[in-house]
Amino acid sequence: MGRTSNARERLMGAAYELIWNYSYGAVTIDAICDRARVKKGSFYYFFDSKSELAVAAIHLWWVKRKVVVAEIFRDDVLPLDRIRRYLDFVEQCQQVAFDENGRVLGCPIFTLGSEIFAQNEPLRELVGEILRWGCGTFEKAIRDAQALGEVEPGDPALKARALLGFYEGMLTSARIDNNMALIQNLSAKALEAIGARSVLATAA
pLDDT exceeds cutoff 80 at 35: yes
Average pLDDT over residues 35-49: 93
pLDDT exceeds cutoff 60 at 199: no
Residues 124-135 have pLDDT tens digits of 899 999 999 999
Closest to 28 in 3D by CA, of 61, 56, 5, 51 = 51
Residues 75-93 have pLDDT tens digits of 999 999 999 999 999 999 9
The DSSP secondary structure of 112-172, one letter per residue, reads: HHHHHTTT-HHHHHHHHHHHHHHHHHHHHHHHHHHHTT-B-SS-HHHHHHHHHHHHHHHHH
Mean pLDDT of the chain: 91
Which pLDDT score, from 0 to 100, does residue 120 have? 84
How far apart CA 58 and CA 123 sit, in angstroms, is 9
pLDDT exceeds cutoff 90 at 200: no
Residues 152-180 have pLDDT tens digits of 999 999 999 999 999 999 999 999 999 99
How far apart CA 109 and CA 128 sit, in angstroms, is 9
C-alpha pair distances (Å), 51 with each of 38, 54, 175, 203? 17, 5, 24, 46
Residues 6+ apart with CB under 8 A from 111: 20, 23, 172, 175
Which pLDDT score, from 0 to 100, does residue 112 have? 87
How far apart CA 84 and CA 193 sit, in angstroms, is 13
Domain with CATH 1.10.10.60 in the chain: 1-59
Class of domain 1-59: mainly alpha
CB atoms within 10 A of CB 108: 19
Domain with CATH 1.10.357 in the chain: 73-203
Topology of the domain covering 73-203: Tetracycline Repressor; domain 2 (1.10.357)
How far apart CA 127 and CA 110 sit, in angstroms, is 8
CB atoms within 10 A of CB 65: 14
